[in-house]
Amino acid sequence: MPSIAFLFDTAAKATMVLAAAGLLALAMRRTSSAARYFTWTCALCAVLAIPMLSLLLPAWNLPVKTAPAPIVREVSMPDSASFPAPASAAPVAPIRAKWTNGWPVTIWLAGALIALARLAAGHVRLALSLRRARLVIAPEWTVARDEAAERIGFGRAVKLIRSAETDVPLTCGLFSATVVLPEASEEWDAERRQVVLLHELTHARRLDPLLWFIAQVAAAVYWFHPLAWLAVARFRREQERSCDDAVVRAGTVRSAYARHLVELARSVAPARAYSVALCMAATSDLEQRVRALLDPGRNRQGLRRGFCLAGAAAAMAAILPLAALHAQQSAHGASLSGSVYDPSGAAVPRALVLLKNDSSHQEAARTDDGGEYAFSVPAGSYTLQVRAQGFTEFQKAIVLPAAGQTNITLALGPVNEALEVVGKAQRPPETGTPHRIRVGGNVQATKLVSMIKPAYPPGAESASIEGTVLLRAVISTEGGLLGLSVMNTSVDGELAQAAMEAVKQWRYQPTLLNGAPVEVVTTIAVTFRLER
């Protein structure tokens, strides 16, 4: 499932593409409908390609500045009452994000699936209706079809069928075109047959049913976006008007064509089986189409193949860098910072701050002399932990980038004492044969016996690079380290290498369980800090 950041990033890019297409179409209002149809086709194809290209292309990160996030004070609660915090350190109720990563994505996915399911159901109904239709083999229709195909330069085979489930001619079929005729077409004269076939074969020649399907998929994917629905409506309008212009260019008299459109529209009735097909005489835009047909000064030029190829190449050249562009708050996507205080309100330096996400990845940092810490990580859900000697461990679930700046007040750790009083009991009388009971629970903790201190890498030192390297390893039964690895990926590579080279030489007295050495997992935090 995509993240909320990816969803918002894609929606922003789609907004830019559709807005640019709208402005371009407005500037082209005196050009032909074919040019505007091509513009909207490129725009809708682009908004569908952007999510896939964003995943495939190398990321081009664009850092942006955001308003400072509100400061949130969090207080860790001790196991028992220890020390009341002063008024300056009183906790403030945390500001929680209204949206988490899951809900917006889930809502978008549900809407897209519903829209795509409706589109799929429409095509299923269409396929079932086509199976019930009858093939048209009458000579007057086949001859008229061949003549119309020759007039527009269309060489592919087109099937003619007649169906009782539609009242107007339709074109369907994503790759192999089919023209659906109503039952009333048996009574049509030669002129109407020619007009209808020119219109429908023009749709088939331009692969308009396939392009209409792509537009419907774009509307389903961007169901929440008003510009997407506006673009689909403009696309459909220019699709029919450019088809009308092509019929006129083929030699049809404009007034006769307009008359046939009006007469066909009178018999239009809802046809659920053909709701996803291209209807010749839809009533929603009929008046504007007739006016456009009767306008003698209208630009009815078509588009040459070379112009279309050049336009598609230009659109791709603009879309590729846009798809690779990623706006981020920082180099890693989101930032988290704050300060760590004790119950008196004083800063806690050198506290270990851990940031873990839902997977095994985690980052580490140490607070500076002023008790401040900072992270730069990808947006997402994390667990924030703070550890300092003598204090209760702090832990909190956060969502980035909504968490903002988080200040933390640590509570004093509890003091635990245990006392065992041993007396002498009377030995019970022996009954039966005595048997040995294996007694365990005797653990002798591991002890570091040999440590090589890491050297500060000269390159990182000269570049004023600081950081905490979080290492994980297994202390073997011989006291060496096995499987030493770096847990946090955002730390500087030179610092991580220096820490690894030194720590892998450390030697321990192994942990003893009931006198026998055992392997244990250890986590080592190596902090590189520059004195100022």
Asked whether the bond before 226 is cis by omega within 30 degrees of 0, the reply is no
Residue 404 binned pLDDT confidence (cut-offs 50, 70, 90): low
User: Residue 281 pLDDT > 60, yes or no?
Assistant: yes
Burial state string for 225-242 with b = 16 or more CB within 10 A and e = fewer than 16: bebbeebbebbbbbbbbb
207: left (phi over 0), alpha (psi -120 to 50) or beta: left
Q: How far apart are CA 123 and CA 275, in angstroms?
A: 9
User: Residue 74 pLDDT > 70, yes or no?
Assistant: no
pLDDT in tens, 189-202: 999 999 999 999 99
Residue 432 binned pLDDT confidence (cut-offs 50, 70, 90): low
CA 79 to chain centre: 42
Amino acid at 391: F
Query: Which two tokens mark 354?
Result: 């851990």
Give me the pLDDT at residue 6, please: 82
User: Residue 139 pLDDT > 70, yes or no?
Assistant: yes
Residue 99 binned pLDDT confidence (cut-offs 50, 70, 90): very low
Question: What integer best gives the mean pLDDT of the chain?
Answer: 82
**In the CATH scheme, what is the homologous superfamily, with its name and number, of domain 443-528?**
TonB (3.30.2420.10)
Q: Can you tell me which residue has the tokens 């792509």?
A: 214
| CA angle at 12 for the pair 10 and 18, rounded to the nearest 5° | 100
Residue 484, helix vs strand vs coil: strand
Give me the pLDDT at residue 273, please: 57
For the chain, the domains span: 4-63+102-324, 71-96+331-409, 443-528
pLDDT winner (highest mean) among 17-26, 373-382, 477-486: 17-26
pLDDT in tens, 294-305: 998 899 999 888
More confident call, 90 vs 244: 244
**In the CATH scheme, what is the homologous superfamily, with its name and number, of domain 71-96+331-409?**
Immunoglobulins (2.60.40.10)
User: Residue 442 pLDDT > 80, yes or no?
Assistant: no
Average pLDDT for 393-399: 87
173: left (phi over 0), alpha (psi -120 to 50) or beta: left
Reference 35, options 248, 234, 301; nearest CA is 301
Give me the pLDDT at residue 421, please: 57
Give me the pLDDT at residue 207, please: 93
Query: Which two tokens mark 36?
Result: 């505007």
Q: How far apart are CA 448 and CA 38, in angstroms?
A: 72
Residue 309, CA distances (Å) to 241, 315, 323 in order:
22, 10, 21
More confident call, 427 vs 328: 427
Query: Which two tokens mark 431?
Result: 């009954």
Residue 447 binned pLDDT confidence (cut-offs 50, 70, 90): confident
Give me the pLDDT at residue 87, please: 35
How buried is 17 (Cβ within 10 angstroms: 0-12 exposed, 13-18 middle, 19+ buried)? Answer: buried
Average pLDDT for 310-339: 78
Give me the pLDDT at residue 382, please: 85
